[in-house]
Copies of this chain bind each other. A is one copy, B any other.
Amino acid sequence: MPPYNKTDRSTLKRLPARGFYDRDLVHKILDEGFICHVGFVADGKPVVIPTGYGRIGDKLYIHGSQASRMLRTLKTGVAACVTVTLVDGLVLARSAFHHSINYRSVVIFGNATLVEDPEEKSAALLAFSEHVIEGRWKDVREPTEQELKATTVLMLLLEEVSAKVRTGPPIDDEEDYDLPVWAGVVPLRIVAGAPINDPRLSPEIVPPEYALNYKRG
């Protein structure tokens, strides 16, 4: 797929070697994560709120209660910045200065639009659900018309997007490599524990495969 266009805002100014505009890489990072941090301006000041998301092609969807201040603000079409960060490891160098973190992040600039078409809205909610936990949607009671009405879905086009990646071992100053200090990477990942039954669950219902073997990436 063609890369995203670099705009002034999405062009990485510092350490450009860590910056990427590759569409497949951006999609891969977005698909491994499921929590984004949404930034918007309210009363002239920045607000950053975590929320889940789903993706269909080059459209990112977020949703929530129609009472949510974030969604009520964003649906007016104000500028937004949505950031997804995956933390892959701690990079332990021989000097304090060269310690770092291995990560993959995506920053999206844009303006959200309200999804009003019922079909797109349903498709977005399904995509959201499958994005967070694949296989769940077919098992649950689908939204009623009233629930759909109470849910705001917003779409942000993936257009002005960049990814940033740091990977690999520490890079120490040449003269520090002889120091008798352990150096390397402590890898980090998100792991699911054993599913916890709802206290009101009927005893004959067992957890489905997607809950027993949940993993990301």
Contact = CB atoms under 8 A, between A and B. Distances in A.
Interface in A28-43: 35, 37-41, 43
A40 B46 contact: yes
Contacts of A46: 39-41, 46-47, 79-81
A15 to B, nearest CB: 9
A178 B185 CA distance: 49
A194 B184 CA distance: 11
Contacts of A57: none
Contacts of A95: 140-143, 147
B186 A211 contact: yes
A190 B193 contact: no
A117 to B, nearest CB: 18
Interface string A62-75: 00010111000000
